Every structure is written in structure tokens, then in C-alpha cells.
Amino acid sequence: MANREAAFIDTAHIFLKAGKGGNGSSSFRREKYIPYGGPDGGHGGRGGSVWFVASSNITTLREIAFHPHITAGDGSPGGGNRRDGADGEDKTLYVPLGTVVKRGGAALADLKADGQRFLAAKGGRGGRGNTAFKTRFNTAPKISENGEPGEEYEAWLELSVLADVGLVGFPNAGKSTLLSAVSAARPKIADYPFTTLNPNIGMVTHKNKSFAAADIPGLIEGAHEGRGLGDLFLKHVLRTKLLVHLVDPAGFGGLKPEKAVRVIEKELKQFHPLLARKTALLAVNKSDLPGAAEVQALLQKKFKGREVFLISAATGKGLGKLLDRIIKLLPSIKEEDLYRASEGAAVFRSPEEGFRVAKDHTGAFVVSGAKIEKLIAMTNFSQPDSWDRLRRILRTIGLDKALKKAGAEAGDAVRIADREFEWSDEALPAGKRGKFAYKYRKFRQDYGD
């Protein structure tokens, strides 16, 4: 769209992919006069991670929304001569203050402070080279791990601007005029409704106290269900501490001021009950025009117990008193926590431990679980010794028992992650590495090593 303002974007559906760790290397020292050199395969490098950093220099999610595939670099493989692979490059994305990261409906992080960092997707660790597998019994291991896959998931970013005070009211009430009168913000002002299309934020300093104020597009009746622009932006005042409800003494669209105030308050409440609970100061604007003082007196009578100010955003009259009241009230209002996410840390991680065995419609046994799938991904199937190690681990963690209990018999297919194995109860020949009751024999491999 040509309209620059309309490009304000406050949600983004994104796909995060952290880097895979580099594969470890299986290599042996070769020197002229040392015929049987020991293992010297280096480790793979760590995969890069995806980070979000809150920054006051960014105001919209536009960049991210248009580039939703976010990928960090893979680690490099290890090499011979104990050469470790290089780490993959991290990917850092800057997001506006007030960005919430959500995954499957749960909030992972609420980025509110300038510079606050959030590790959104962790890079995989590098696979160990064969130097790591040397033991007293196996001094020449031909085992190396593949790198761990990086975390990968889809997420939603939601921005709600952070301000202490939200300016609400019908279109044309003078919200933008007020913001520009009390801050350095210069929102567009005009004598027609819906001048403001995006939230504007301004820093207000009054008597050595500062607070942020947000001016949102005017609301109309039905805003909470999508009429006008209102509902798109009401969420931006959800996190404010205080509302200033601006009233045009002329009313709006044939509504008298008193009725107009009630309509707006009903819209706020219907959008979110939290909005109805907020302290809301009423301010009758345009006091430089005839009739405004009468409207203020009337509203004060109709809304007993509420504070009704009389101001002129255009001439500045009455603004000092309104600001006095705001800075007096703000410190006593606690911010309601919309999201229970702990600062900077993910609250949602798939469980690592345990696995599940289920039989699918083809009769294959499907084994799932984050840890066991990771183990499969990190096994280098081109190395017979790695196969042995895998069998041993699977037995130790109890998969053999679980499969037997589930009714697995020789020849049945067992699927883990993207691999399929043939299960057999044939005993492996007893050797120096022990005897195994069962073996997993690979008979199909979808991905080359």
C-alpha cells in the first residue's frame, strides 16, 4: 500500500529454525613413524541460535512479518587432527518494546525493556568426534556423533505498544492534538474523523516526571467487533496504566457528549474487561470553543465520583492540571500482568525425558520422544560401532522392554524420528563389547549420512 502509515504491522506469523550442530569426525592420527595413531577426530561446531532483542529503535513488526523464515547458521563439521568445527552464526532479530512471543497459544516471552534478550530457538550442540569415545576397552573407536538438530517451530509475534497512558475517544476529539501538545510526537492532525491510522507514542515530561502516552485511532460504536479501526488498536491500550478519555463538546455523529462517553466506555469493556477496570480520566476538550464548560459541568454531574477535566489541546489551557493529576496517579497504579511469561526465559519447552511407543495402522511400532529422536538424529549410521552404541543405549533406556511389552516380534518395523528399523530378537554374537538380546537393523534409510 502506498500509504506509509498503513504499513504499521503488529502481528507476525514466523518460522524459527536454529542451526544444526556440526557432525563430529572419526579420524586417526597418521604420522610417518607412528603406524597406529590414536583417534583424533574433532568435534562439530555448535549450531547458531535465534535471539530476539527488544529495541526502542524499532516500532513495528513489519520487517519480520515480510521475512518470516528465520534461520540461524549450522555448525561446521569437525576434522582430523583434533580440529573442531566452527560454530554456526547466531541470528538476532530486533523487535519493538511490547512484543510478545507466542507458541501454540502460550506466551514464551514478553519483551518490554530496551536491550532485553530472549533465546527463541537454541542451536544444536556439535557432535562429538571419535576422541570422545576412546575408552580403556576401545582405544580406537570408529564412533562419532552427528550434530544435534537445532530447535525448530512456528511462533507468533504480537506487539502491543508500551505506554503508561492511553488516549481514547471518538474520532476528531483531539487526541492527536493533545499528544502533540504535551510531547515531541508529531502525529497527523486534521478536521475529519479517522485521521490517525496507527498508534503514536510520545514521551511526556512534566515537573521532572516522565511517562509515555499513546494516541490510538478514534473508536466508534461496534469497535470491539471490528467496526472502524478501533478493535485493531484497542489492544495497544490494554497495557496502559491509565486512560484519558477525550470528549468533544460537540458530541460525535449526532450523539450528545454524555451518550458518547457511555458508548466509548461500553466499547472498552466489551473489548476486554481489563479496560473497564482501568482508571479513566474524562477530559472535555476544545474549551476555547463556546459550550465546552457547560458540557464539563454536565458530565461532572452525570458521572459522579469521576474526575472530569476541562482542557484545550489547541491553546494549552487546563493541560497543566491534567498532567499534575496524571503524574500523581501513575506511581500508585500497578501494571496488570497480561502475560505470565517470565522475563527473558521460555516457559514452554517440549518435555525432554521419556518416550512413547504406539502401533500405527501399518502395524509398525512408532517411538516418539524428544530425547530419543535426538539420539537417532545424532547417530552416524555409516559407522558399525555407532550402531552398537545406539543398540546399547536403546536397551539401557528400556526401549527393548517397552517394545516387547507392546507386542513387537522379530521382523516388525520400528520407526523413530525419520528412520525405520527392523526389530529382531536374534542375539548378536557375544564379543568384546558385550552381548545384546535384540538388535535394530536398519533396512530403510530416507536420508543419506
Ligand X SMILES: Nc1nc2c(ncn2[C@@H]2O[C@H](COP(=O)(O)OP(=O)(O)OP(=O)(O)O)[C@@H](O)[C@H]2O)c(=O)[nH]1
Stretch that binds ligand X, among 95-103, 140-148, 194-202, 327-335 (CB under 6 A): 194-202
Tell the smallest beta-carbon distance from residue 193 to Mg ion (Å): 9
Q: Report residue 348 as a C-alpha cell.
A: 514452554
- Binding partner at 171 among ligand X, Mg ion, none, C-beta below 5 to 8 Å by kind: ligand X
CB 74 within 8 Å of CB 88 = yes
Per CB under 5 A, the segment of 115-123, 190-198, 240-248, 265-273 that binds Mg ion is: 190-198
CB 199 within 8 A of CB 8: yes
Query: Which of the listed partners (ligand X, Mg ion, none) does 312 bind, with a CB threshold of 5 to 8 Å by partner kind?
Result: ligand X
Does position 171 interact with ligand X (CB under 6 A)? The reply is: yes
With the C-alpha atoms ordered 91, 97, 103, 108, is the resulting torsion angle positive or negative?
positive
Q: How far is the CB of 187 from Mg ion (least distance, A)?
A: 6
Residue 40 or 215 with smaller CB distance to ligand X: 215
List the one residue from 99, 196, 240, 312 that touches Mg ion (CB under 5 A).
196
Count of residues binding ligand X (CB under 6 A)?
A: 23
Near Mg ion by CB under 5 A: residue from 25, 116, 131, 176:
176
Give the distance between the most distant pair of CA atoms in the chain.
104
- Decide whether 149 or 217 has the Cβ nearer to ligand X: 217
Length of the chain: 449
The string of DSSP codes covering 34-71 is BSS--B-PPPPPPPP-EEEEE-TT---SHHHHHS-EEE
368 φ/ψ angles, rounded to the nearest 5 degrees: -130, 155
Cβ–Cβ contacts within 10 Å for residue 390, how many?
22
Q: Is residue 217 near ligand X by the rule CB under 6 A?
A: yes
When asked if residue 389 is in the footprint of ligand X (CB under 6 A), the reply is: no
- Stretch in the footprint of Mg ion (CB under 5 A) among 168-176, 290-298, 403-411, 414-422: 168-176
Shortest CB 351 distance to ligand X, Å: 48
**Out of 163, 185, 299, 313, the residue judged to bind ligand X by CB under 6 A:** 313
195 near Mg ion (CB under 5 A)? yes
Interface with Mg ion (CB under 5 A), residue total: 4
| In contact, 353 and 371? CB cutoff 8 Å | yes
- The one among 20, 103, 122, 175 contacting ligand X by CB under 6 A: 175
The closest of 237, 338, 337 to 279, measured between CA atoms, is 237
36: amino acid identity, one letter: Y
C-alpha distance across the termini of the chain, in Å:
47
Q: Is 59 one of the binding residues for Mg ion (CB under 5 A)?
A: no
Count other C-beta atoms under 10 Å from residue 60's C-beta.
17
The listed partner (Mg ion, ligand X, none) that binds 296, CB under 5 to 8 Å by sort, is: none
Q: Quick one: which of 54, 173, 341, 403 contacts ligand X (CB under 6 A)?
A: 173
Would you say 49 or 312 has its CB closer to ligand X?
312
Does residue number 131 form part of the binding site for ligand X (CB under 6 A)?
no
Query: If binding is defined by CB under 6 A, does position 191 make contact with ligand X?
Result: yes
Residue 228 as a binder of ligand X (CB under 6 A): the answer is no
Q: Determine which residue in the list 286, 389, 419, 439 makes contact with ligand X, applying CB under 6 A.
A: 286
Residue 285 touches which of ligand X, Mg ion, none (Cβ within 5-8 Å per kind): ligand X
- The answer to whether residue 141 forms part of the interface with ligand X (CB under 6 A) is no
Q: How far apart are CA 182 and CA 202, in angstroms?
A: 8
DSSP state of 266: H
Rounded-to-integer distance, Cα 76 and Cα 83, Å? 11
Q: Other C-beta atoms within 10 Å of 320: how many?
A: 13
**CA–CA dist 414, 367 (Å, integer):** 7
Binding of ligand X by 172 (CB under 6 A): yes
- Whole-number minimum distance, CB 296 to ligand X, in Å? 13
Selected range binding ligand X among 108-116, 232-240, 259-267, 306-314, rule: CB under 6 A: 306-314
Q: Closest CB to ligand X among 189 and 366?
A: 189
Residue 17's alpha-carbon distances to 14, 116, 120, 142, 155, in angstroms, are 10, 21, 9, 31, 11
Distance between CA atoms of 431 and 392, rounded to whole angstroms?
A: 13
The span from the CA of 46 to the CA of 304, in Å, is 64
- Within 8 A by CB and 6+ apart from 347, the residues are 106, 107, 108, 340, 341
CB of 43 to ligand X, least distance (A): 59
Tally of CB atoms within 10 A around 90: 17
Using rule CB under 5 A, residue 26 touches Mg ion: no
The nearest distance, CB 316 to ligand X, in angstroms, is 9
Nearest one of 137, 25, 135 to 78, comparing CA atoms:
25
Which residues of this protein are in contact with Mg ion, per CB under 5 A?
175-176, 195-196
Which residues of this protein are in contact with ligand X, per CB under 6 A?
171-177, 189-191, 193-196, 217-218, 285-286, 288-289, 312-314
